[in-house]
Structures are given as structure tokens and as C-alpha cells.
Amino acid sequence: MIGWRSTWSIYKRELVRFLRTAFQSVLAPVLTTSLYFIVFGAAIGGRMPDLGGVDYGAFIIPGLLMLTLLGETTSNSSFGIYMPRFTGTIYELLSAPVGVAETLIGFVGAAATKSLILAAIILVTARLFVDYSIAHPLLAVVYIMLVAAAFSLFGFILGIWADNFEKLGIIPMLFLTPLTFLGGTFYSIDMLPEPWDTIALANPIVYLVSGLRWTFYGSSDVDIRISFAITLGFLAVCVAIIAYIFKTGWRLRA
Amino acid sequence: MNEPILELEGLTKVYPGGLKALDDVSLSIRPGEIFALLGPNGAGKTTLIGAVCGLVRPSSGRMVAFGHDLATDWRKARARIGLVPQELSTDMFEPVIRAVSYSRGLFGLAPDPARIEEILRSLSLWDKRDERIMALSGGMKRRVLIAKALAHEPDLLFLDEPTAGVDVELRKGMWAIIDQMRARGVTIILTTHYIEEAELMADRVGIINRGKLLMVDEKDAMMARLGRTEAHIALAAPLAVLPQALARFPVELEEGGTSLCYRGGDGTGKGKAEVAELTKALVAEGIDFTGIETRESSLEDIFVSLLGEGEVAA
């Protein structure tokens, strides 16, 4: 049985926390995305050929969206649970009649909502620089929601695992961002010489960027079904880890 | 006799590293009472609260609150339990009213602005409702934590060191608040190392040290059983031996026969009456005295002596 009132309270509070820093939360991705479009879209993109029949400026939109989405979702979610642990306010959550379902839907739902808002902002910003259309808008929304949920869960695990601020920042900085850059954000895997094109397939982010690109333009490096399967698999693994954490109280209960 | 509101049986907590914070603790809490858990720092008070409130996973033992086993039916039990932690941990950026309303929602209750207003008014926080918690004084922050704990109308409230580091005036204010809650019928378990607080507020007292519950009793019964009156009577002239007429009193000569020391009574005032009798006997015997100093042993003396015994036993 899920306590929906408890869930709603957590969700609402997390969104309010986001709105408290709304200016920074909105401005940063708008600025970053604009810079990428100026550099890669306008300056370099003009000299690049179409990729798979898609203008280079438009080609990089799904990748840029994924870049911001993964980073922001992970950090939002990890901070959401790390800060109460750090300040001690987690006592209230632990002492409440609230279980793993309420906590996850509340925290992860809020982090995912913030990500969707960011995605919308990025898409609107991109429209100012590049003309594009989305081939499968419904699938794109579903896919963005799936990725947002998966990485909110991932961030949640990170926030519980981390016992200092350094650890909190190290995973997004050392793994997520480089893997996203190398995951076909700015290029198609086809453009890589052997053996790098094969090696690139070991990068899980390739499947995410590729999946989103497919929903935008109907073609991509990897089959969309594989992208969906990998995203769902990652989501399931994260849920299982979190269920285990709550069952054992690891890093939550003394 | 009412059913216990909380029952602990053989509660034990061993932290990784081997520290035994709770050692086979069994305890029953009655509805409507104020129970003071008294013990020095590191005695296991906070661990005990943490175990009931879900912050600490007990190593073994059973906890039943409101008839619900806390290991399996924790949702129903926890919905009726409130916790005011020792540390001032709360979201400092939140305005008071939002923080308190959040707590109510978190515990699954529908919003009730009238109830929140009542709680804030009773804690003199209504005027500060829109202020960020970070802007409040330490005493007010603690009251915000109490308001948050009361927001879901708990039947059982844990107050972990509610007056630790609080000045005398605020401490008295806190006692008044606890009185208010008792009047509302809330059962309160408070931990403290201020013995005066336990003496003043509690119906029953439990003394805990090194994870072991050394004694649980009615405060008055404990005082009666272990309390003593001590009187020192300064004699005008030293006595070589104790006169036969004083043999029925628990007295002895001290300081070379210049002082008569009475040690007796039971903490209910019996000792004082006996000292009065003693002075009459002295007058009847023609023994002159120049001063009397009497002292009732406090809960503190009992506490210290119990802890002393514990040390010896350990």
C-alpha cells in the first residue's frame, strides 16, 4: 500500500527546493546549450556535412539534451537525498510511516519532473538556433521520461553511497560527462575508425543518445529496441539496488 | 490498568565494531505518562529512541507500539509516534509554516491549516510562521522541531534531550510545553541528563547506563525507596558516647563528638519528622546544640549511587 499523501508531500517539497534556485536551474542549461549551439552548431556545424540526412546542428540536439539531462538529473537526485543525510533532517523521513515506494516516487518523481522541465527549456532554446522537427514526439517524451527516471534512481543511489561532497561530484564528473561526450553526442559512431566504433558500443551512453536520436529523426546508430531495452534494464537494476538499500538500511539506518 | 502503549522486550543493539549500545532492554510505557530516561552521555538513550523510531536497526529484541509489531507493522505504529531529535536538524531555508505542514503531509495526514495554526500558536511560533527557520533563535528552532513532531498529532512523543544546551528561562518554557502536551493526553518519553528535569516532570524514571536499564520505577517510589534524609546537628559541647535515649535513632557521633549525624528516612518526608523527634529527645536529655543542617537526598544522589553500583558490577 502506497501512502499517496506522504508521496505528494515529498514530491512537492523537492520541487519547491528546485524552484528556490529556479533562476540558476533554468539559466545554466539555457546558457550551456546556447554555447554548444554557437560553437558546434553555427561555427563548426556550418562546415560539416549532413549526418544520415540530418543537418549537423539538428543532429547534435538529442545528444546535447542527453548531456544536460544525465548530468542534471543525477546531481538533482543525488543532492536530494544526500543533503538530508548530511544535515540530519533524514530522521524525519526515516521515522515517518514512509517506505521505499513513497520515497522513490517522491524524490525520483521530483527529480524526473525537473529534468522534463529542463528538457523542454533546452528544446525551446535549440529552436532559436536550429530548425528541427521531431519524428516521434510521443516516443521522445516517453524515452526522455524513462531516462530521467533511470538516472534519478542512479543519482539516488549515488546520494546514499556518497559520504562526502567529493564522492557526490566524482561520478558525474569522471564518468558520466566523459562517457556522454564519447557517446555520440557530437558525432555518429559510424564516423569512428575501427576498432573505436566497436569499442564505443561498450559505452552505455551510446545507446541512450542513439535512442533519443531515433525518436527525433527516425534513424540512429543502434536499433531503438536495444536502446529501450538497455534503458529499462538500467532502470530495473537501479530499482533493485534501492530496494536492497531500504531492506538492509545501508547508509540510512544505524 | 491500561494496556502499555509501547513494549520493548530484550532490545539489543550492537553497532559494527562491537559497541553494545543497548543490552537486553525491556520496558513498558503506559498511556498518558511522562517517562524520563535518565543516563549519562553515551548511555544508550538516543539509540533506544532511534530503535523505536526507525533510525536504528536493533540487533535483536521485540518492539510493540499500540499493539503493532514495529518489525512488521511499522507503518501503523509509526504514524502515531513523533520524534523531536536532539540535534537541531531541519531544512533551514524553509519558512516555519511550510516545514510544519510538510511534516503533517509526510505522515500521511490531510492538510489542516487550523490544526497547524493551533500548534504554532501553542508554541508561540505563529508570529514567526513565515520566517525562514535559519533566522530563528536556537530555542525557537527547537520549538519548530516540536511543532513538526506534533503536526501529525502523535499519541506517543519522544523528546531527545529537549533542553540540552538551552538556557534556564527557555528550559522552563520547555517544561511548560511538555506540561501542555501531557494535558492533551500525549504520552511522552524524554531523555535527559538533567536530573532536575526528570525530578520535576516525570511520572516514572528509567535509569540507563552502558546500554543496560538499571532501574525503572515511579519517581516517587524510587525516591521513597532510595531517598534519605541526612541531618547534622552541631553540639554545644562534645559527647564522648551516644546517650541511651538516642539509640532508637539512626545516628552517630562525628567530628570528635561535636556533631551528631542522622542518616535515615525514606525520601517521603519520614526522615524530617524523625529529625524533629530527635531534636526533642536532645532537649529532653539536656543536650544543647547550636545548629541543624538537614538535606534530602535528590534523584541525583540516587542516580549517582546507582551508576556507581553499575560501575562496580561492570
**Which residues share a beta bridge with B65?**
B6, B68
Query: Across the interface, do B89 and A96 touch by the CB < 8 Å criterion?
Result: no
Query: Across the interface, do B93 and A20 touch by the CB < 8 Å criterion?
Result: yes
DSSP annotation of A241 reads: H
* Interface mutation vs chain B, best among A85, A91, A247, most B CBs within 10 Å: A91
- Average pLDDT per consecutive 10 residues, chain B (314 residues; last block may be shorter): 86 92 94 91 91 93 94 91 88 91 95 93 91 90 91 93 77 83 91 80 90 88 76 91 88 90 79 89 92 80 70 40
pLDDT value of position A5: 93
Instruction: Please answer whether residues A165 and A171 qualify as being in contact, where contact means their C-beta atoms are separated by less than 8 angstroms.
Output: no
pLDDT value of position B1: 52
Number of domains in chain A: 1
Q: Per-residue confidence at A204, pLDDT binned at 50, 70, 90?
A: confident
Task: Identify which of B275, B285, B272, B274 has the alpha carbon closest to the alpha carbon of residue B236.
Answer: B285
Q: Is residue A253 part of a domain?
A: no
Contacts of B214 (CB under 8 A, 6+ apart): B207, B208, B306, B307, B309, B310
CA distance B262 to chain A (A): 50
Report the alpha-carbon distance of residue B262 to residue B274 in Å, rounded: 9
Q: Write the burial class of residue B130 (CB in 10 Å: 0-12 exposed, 13-18 middle, 19+ buried).
A: exposed
Closest CA in chain A for residue B74: A97
Domain residue limits at A242 = 4-248
Element (H, E) at B88: none
Instruction: Please answer whether residues B23 and B210 qualify as being in contact, where contact means their C-beta atoms are separated by less than 8 angstroms.
Output: yes
pLDDT value of position A22: 78
Query: Across the interface, do A94 and B93 touch by the CB < 8 Å criterion?
Result: no
Render pLDDT for A117-134 as a digit per residue (tens, 0 to 9).
889 988 988 888 888 889
Query: Across the interface, do B108 and A5 touch by the CB < 8 Å criterion?
Result: yes
Task: Identify which of A12, A212, A230, A218 has the alpha carbon closest to the alpha carbon of residue A105.
Answer: A12
3 state SS of A212: helix
Task: Identify which of B206, B164, B279 has the alpha carbon closest to the alpha carbon of residue B48.
Answer: B206
Render pLDDT for A216-234 as a digit per residue (tens, 0 to 9).
998 888 889 999 999 999 9
Query: Across the interface, do A93 and B81 touch by the CB < 8 Å criterion?
Result: no
Q: How far is CA A243 from its chain centroid?
A: 21
Render pLDDT for A14-69 as a digit per residue (tens, 0 to 9).
898 888 877 877 788 788 888 888 887 777 777 777 777 778 888 888 998 998 88
Percent share of chain A, pLDDT over 90: 33
Instruction: Please answer whether residues A209 and A185 qualify as being in contact, where contact means their C-beta atoms are separated by less than 8 angstroms.
Output: yes
Closest CA in chain A for residue B52: A95
**Which residues share a beta bridge with A54?**
A51
pLDDT value of position B309: 64
Can you tell me the mean pLDDT for A136-158? 93
User: What are chain B's domains?
Assistant: 6-224 (3.40.50.300), 228-296 (3.30.70)
Q: Is residue A147 part of a domain?
A: yes
Query: Across the interface, do A94 and B53 touch by the CB < 8 Å criterion?
Result: yes
pLDDT value of position B135: 92
Query: Across the interface, do A91 and B83 touch by the CB < 8 Å criterion?
Result: yes
Query: Across the interface, do A95 and B76 touch by the CB < 8 Å criterion?
Result: no
Q: Which residues of A touch B79 (CB under 8 A)?
A: 97
Q: Is residue A193 part of a domain?
A: yes
Q: At what angle do helices A224-248 and A137-161 cross, to 10 degrees?
A: 30
The pTM of the full predicted model, rounded to 2 decimals, is 0.83
Q: Is residue A254 part of a domain?
A: no
Q: Per-residue confidence at A250, pLDDT binned at 50, 70, 90?
A: confident
* Interface mutation vs chain B, best among A7, A9, A81, most B CBs within 10 Å: A9
Query: Across the interface, do B102 and A3 touch by the CB < 8 Å criterion?
Result: no
Residues on B contacting A at a C-beta cutoff of 8 Å: 15, 47, 50, 53-57, 74-76, 78-79, 81, 83, 85, 87, 89-93, 98, 102-103, 105-110, 148
Q: Is residue A117 part of a domain?
A: yes
Look over chain A and give the mean of its residue pLDDT values, rounded to a whole number.
Answer: 87
Among the partner-chain residues B54, B79, B106, the one whose CB lies closest to the CB of A253 is: B54
Q: What is the ipTM of this complex?
A: 0.85
CA distance B200 to chain A (A): 28
CA distance B229 to chain A (A): 44
Q: Could you give the strand order of the β-sheet that contains B81-84, starting from the edge strand earlier in sequence?
A: B81-84, B156-160, B187-192, B34-38, B204-209, B212-218
Q: Which residues of A touch B89 (CB under 8 A)?
A: 87-89, 91
Q: Which residues of B touch A107 (CB under 8 A)?
A: none
